Amino acid sequence: MRRPESQEPSARSRQVEAEASGDEGGGDTEMKQQKTAPAPAPSKKTKQPKECFLIQPKETKEESTKTRKWRKKKITDILAKSEPKPGTPEDLQKLMKDYYSSNRSVIELEELNLPDSCFLKANDLTHSLSSYLKEICPKWVKLRKNHTEKKSVLMLILCSSAVRALELIRSMTAFKGDSKVMKLFAKHIKVQEQVKLLEKRAVHLGVGTPGRIKELVKQGGLNLNPLKFLVFDWNWRDQKLKRMMDIPEIRKEVFELLEMGVLSLCKSESLKLGLF
């Protein structure tokens, strides 16, 4: 007996149901695979560093200038920015008081004051050495002709080094004329040799360092009493922009030399001081 067509599913309907059920099952498995699939490993290019580093911000120009302001200024920095000013007698007086203020009483400091009459006209930075010496000593020719005393000079020029002394000697050619000039510094010249030269003949001009001149006075090779002019190479600056009185060692030797009879000669007005 045949089954009615409504009760027997057709082959076509069974195939459609099988495909439908297969599609639904396949879809679930694909979604599960997408959910459970491991994430792809990052490539070497996109790999992040394991540690964290803090990068310091770069210092700006304003911040760097602020830090420089707190540094101790050197004398070369100050002199490089300042305009050159000619030395004055007040500058020498002030340096003397500052130098002796720690170990001298008020009365002793007052005794260091020199009268204005003992100072010659200072260089206003327009002179060469020859023109300056001609201005402060117009009667030099007559003065040197009358000088015959040995172990002495009529004029001393103090400078900071032997090299500078040689430069000054070369630059005074127009002034010195036939004057006898002697180098009074320590480089390549022994004290005993200089003492012998001073004993042999009369010398009119001496150019050198305060340390060697002080040593000659100590050993009796140089008598300061006939001295008429003492000129400081005051305004000249070396490669570090320092003047001779800016160097502590030179400044100390200068003041020690002044105490070896120079100050008393200045007060008696037999000796004049000049600042070149």
How confident is the model over 154-174, as a mean pLDDT? 96
Going by pLDDT thresholds of 50, 70 and 90, the confidence category of residue 193 is: very high
Beta-strand pair 205-208/229-232: unpaired
pLDDT of 148 higher than 90: yes
Q: Which fold has domain 79-275?
A: Rossmann fold (3.40.50)
Lookup: tokens for 60: 């700006």
What's the pLDDT tens digit per position in 54-91?
565 665 655 555 555 556 666 556 655 667 788 999 99
Whole-number pLDDT of residue 256? 95
Domain boundaries defined on the chain: 79-275
- Worst-scoring range by mean pLDDT, 14-18, 138-142, 231-235? 14-18
pLDDT of residue 22: 46
Rg of the chain taking only CA atoms, in angstroms: 47
Whole-number pLDDT of residue 54: 56
Whether the per-residue pLDDT at 129 is higher than 70: the answer is yes
Q: Give the span between the Cα atoms of 79 and 75, in whole angstroms.
A: 6
Instruction: Copy the structure tokens of residue 69.
Output: 């302001």
Q: For residue range 220-269, what is the model confidence (pLDDT) as tens digits?
A: 999 999 999 999 999 999 999 999 999 999 999 999 999 999 999 999 99
DSSP for 115-131 reads PGGGBPPPP-S---HHH
- Write down the residue that tokens 């000088």 correspond to: 147
- What pLDDT sits at residue 4? 44
